[in-house]
Structure 1
């Protein structure tokens, strides 16, 4: 029995446009983000997902509501789909962080998976949360087509898990806004078909 997961990153937000880390803070979709999401809705409708999940963060939930407007599906909220909590780094650019918190920035870029950003979480904590959400959703709907609307970092952790990458790997899967990543789960294993690019962490290395 094959389960198919359509994993979509939310539409463009104001902070995406400004290059600021959003984490678990709120930033609304831009007019462009809304328009692009509306244009993408037909493609999602044609995929005919049986079940829809979203992060509880506004930018993901708004995207999910627009994408499924023609499907009349209940949107299930899963807090495990939230973006990483970047703590004191949130609402800042990487350049701001390096300038304002050089010592903390230096510790973060060492890629220690257990390093907890002050007021935030570690890569290991984030990885466990994202992967658990993926597995829970998959196991709850065997044989179904599942739409998941989430965040760039969360999707990166899911794809990294499927590819066997360590939680704080300095390479990451970059999903553009509204990129569609497809996972198939069959015989106890995930297989990926994805738009995400595997890139270096150029922002912090």
Structure 2
């Protein structure tokens, strides 16, 4: 069962440098274009359905990509981005002490930001979603449309790196990664 991971298209807040977490902003024109390209590229993957985060930016990406794919779309809160608590919706110039903790997120599991979710908590729900997929749809090809930090934590977890590490970069908006490729170590 190939599972393909994709980050949602660019949003207005991505463009402005505002941290989204569980908050949303609309897709930019570029984000909509990335979603259309995703749909075109994904045609070659023989997909059976799309599973996307319940956050609007992921759902909008799925809907636009699906104009080409014509697949069933399922929604899951387990694919939600990491909750960055009080830092969500803020620009770099706001609450600098919390941005320092955000910038050091690759050094520890927990963040000293009120209401922020730990990397291990993200992994628990992500791992649950992946196990459920494997148990219920082992013979189907799936496209997961989610979020950058969520995907980085999944990549770390699958390869047994510290969940909070910066070993894997956050993918670009609209990038597709095959889960099988993540599990094969480079030669």
Q: Which has the higher helix share?
A: 2
For the aligned pair, the TM-score class normalised by the smaller chain equals 0.7 to 0.9
TM-score using structure 1 length: 0.80
Q: Which has the higher strand share?
A: 1
Cα deviation for residue 105 of structure 1 reads 4.7
Structure 1 unaligned runs (5+)?
194-205
What residue in structure 2 maps to residue 68 of structure 1?
66
Q: Quick check: 1:77 aligned with 2:75?
A: yes
Q: Quote the residue 1:196 is aligned against.
A: none
Uncovered stretches (5+) of structure 2, i.e. residues with no partner = none
Q: Is the 8 A contact 2:42 2:69 kept in 1?
A: no
The number of residue pairs the alignment matches comes to 183
In the superposition, the TM-score normalised over structure 2's length comes to 0.87
Aligned partner of residue 83 in structure 1, secondary structure: coil
**Residue 50 of structure 1 contacts residue 146 of structure 1 at CA under 8 Å; is this kept in 2?**
yes
Measure how far apart 1:171 and its partner are: 3.5
Counterpart for residue 202 of structure 1: none
Q: What is the CA-CA distance between 1:69 and the residue it aligns to? A: 1.7
Q: Distance in 2 between matches of 1:57 and 1:46?
A: 26
The within-5 A match list for 1:1-205 is: 3-93=1-91, 95-97=92-94, 100-102=95-97, 104-106=98-100, 109=104, 111-115=107-111, 117-184=113-180, 191=183
Contact 2:26 2:57 in 1 (8 A): yes
Q: Are residues 7 and 107 of structure 1, via their aligned partners in 2, closer, same or farther at CA, if it must alter by over 3 Å?
A: closer
RMSD over aligned Cα, in angstroms?
2.2
Q: After TM superposition, which residue ranges in structure 1, 4 or more long, deviate above 6 angstroms? A: none
